[in-house]
Amino acid sequence: MSIRWSLVIPVKTLVAAKTRLAAATGPHRTRLAVAVAGDTVAAALSCAEVARVIVVTADPAAAGPLGALGAEVVPDPDRGLNTALRTGAAHAVRVAPGDPVGALQADLPALRPAELGLALAAAAEFDQAFVPDALDVGTTFYGVRAGLPFTPRFGGESRAKHLAGGAKELCVPGIESVRRDVDTPDDLRAAMALGLGPRTAAVVAELWPSS
């Protein structure tokens, strides 16, 4: 039987989300943030290697739509990203102690279920592993085998932090959509080139009809 993961996806309070896209998106910034998170969650739930998705958020505007997609929603204690991830992971262990636990960033609007499956299959070979972002500075996924300490080190130059913490860097070909997180207009354009999920694509079509 194949290994199936519990994935924890943290979603910021939307007023604080995607601030670096504010100039490009104006009043649509929160809608875009919900759409991006929705496409990320939907793709993760469609991945054969994923048993459940746990969204950690303090924002009802995100909790409602993401819960409707099938995610389990738990409250964010609002003490930083890594605390939010550990909160979601503790829930995952209570629900399914025999499953590996992973953290996935919420801003992967081009995420492909099959590519996520490749990353998760690779991660299952190691005690702890991570996927670097497209710039090789940050991290988009971190995961551990069942029963092992879950010690995410997201924020800033998290690739270096995860390496220093002993996690295996996954250099898997063909997982571009797993690595393409979106913080800036340039990131969004790069994700568009990969192919956006339907929710993000709909908002982008309203913002930039000619794109």
Binding-site positions for phosphoenolpyruvate: 139, 155, 158
The token pair that represents 67 in the structure block: 């819960």
Q: What residue numbers does the annotated binding site cover?
A: 139, 155, 158
Alpha-carbon distance values, 3 to 47, 59, 77, 98, 108 (Å)? 12, 31, 30, 10, 23
Cβ-contact 100, 146 below 8 angstroms:
yes
Single-letter code of the amino acid located at 111: L
The 3-state secondary structure of 21-81 reads HHHHHHHHHHHHHHHHHHHHHHHHHCCCCEEEEEEEECCHHHHHHHHHHCCEEEECCCCCH
The token pair that represents 5 in the structure block: 């993961």
The token pair that represents 173 in the structure block: 């070909």
Compute the distance between CA of residue 126 and CA of residue 21 in angstroms, rounded to an integer. Answer: 36
